[in-house]
Amino acid sequence: MRVRVLLILIGAGATALSGACNGDSDRSSTHIRVIDSTYTESWQPMEDTGTVYRIEVVSPLGADTVRNVIPPAPILVGDSLVIGLLQFSEDSSTPQRQIFRLRLGKHRIETSPIPDDVWSSYQDLLVSPDGRYLAYVGEDTTPANPGTYGIVRDLKTGEIVIKGPGGGGCDCDEDFNHARWFAPDSFEIAVAHTSSNGGWQRLAGKASASRIHVDTLSDEPDWH
């Protein structure tokens, strides 16, 4: 996996905590706050512009500022690591999503690409509360098994931990798929099967045990 190391600015002066950031951080000595936001070219293929955020992370080890952060909200893992998403562009190319890791007190972040099979319009790219796993909706473009599916990968190694049945998809230009985590590593992923009038296929389980259950939802989940 390619890893990029970026120096970041040391932040000063915080604003009120925003709903765009993880509320769990407010229960610790580390706080994540949105400083401001701006419109820019979007990573999303069906949108020309999107919003990126500048956040400040304040901990007993100092204050750091991270730019170009995008939803979902960054999460705090333990007392020394923040993981989230940002968008990055080289040579005026279309921005690409990257996973960032801010190690508190080091004043720099490491970034790495999202997995190659993430469906191009999928938004709920979520890191588990323990920082070990990544849940999302992937897409298989091969003729043998086309469509979308729920998937969980080991965030460190990139290995697939759980992969649900394929065949998902929708005749739409927006994302109707969803995911969520329950601490420390239990998950639900809802994959839209609306192109075949199949509702939503729910993949649920525990990542560390590679245990899953698959069922069907008739209505779109309201998980956020």
Contact partners, residue 90, CB within 8 Å, separation at least 6:
none
pLDDT tens, residue by residue, 136-159: 999 987 777 678 999 999 999 999
pLDDT tens, residue by residue, 86-115: 998 877 688 999 999 999 999 889 999 999
> How far is Cα 224 from Cα 101, in angstroms, rounded to an integer?
23
**Mean pLDDT (whole number) for 110-131:** 94
If you average pLDDT over each of 10-24, 44-58, 185-199, which comes out highest?
Answer: 44-58
pTM of the model: 0.83
Q: What is the pairing mode between strands 178-182 and 126-127?
A: unpaired
pLDDT of residue 170: 76
For residue 199, is pLDDT > 70?
A: yes
Percent residues over pLDDT 90 in the chain:
62
pLDDT of residue 166: 85
Residue 175 contacts residue 191 (beta carbons within 8 Å): no
pLDDT of residue 169: 81
Domains of the chain, residue spans: 1-114, 115-224
pLDDT of residue 57: 96
For residue 192, is pLDDT > 80?
A: yes
pLDDT of residue 84: 98
- The gap between the terminal CA atoms of the chain, to the nearest Å, is 30
pLDDT of residue 20: 40
Q: How confident is the model at residue 118 (pLDDT cuts 50, 70, 90)?
A: very high
Structure tokens at 164: 């649900």
Structure tokens at 25: 């951080």
**Mean pLDDT (whole number) for 56-68:** 95
From residue 89, give the alpha-carbon distance in Å to each of 95, 97, 197.
Answer: 4, 9, 38
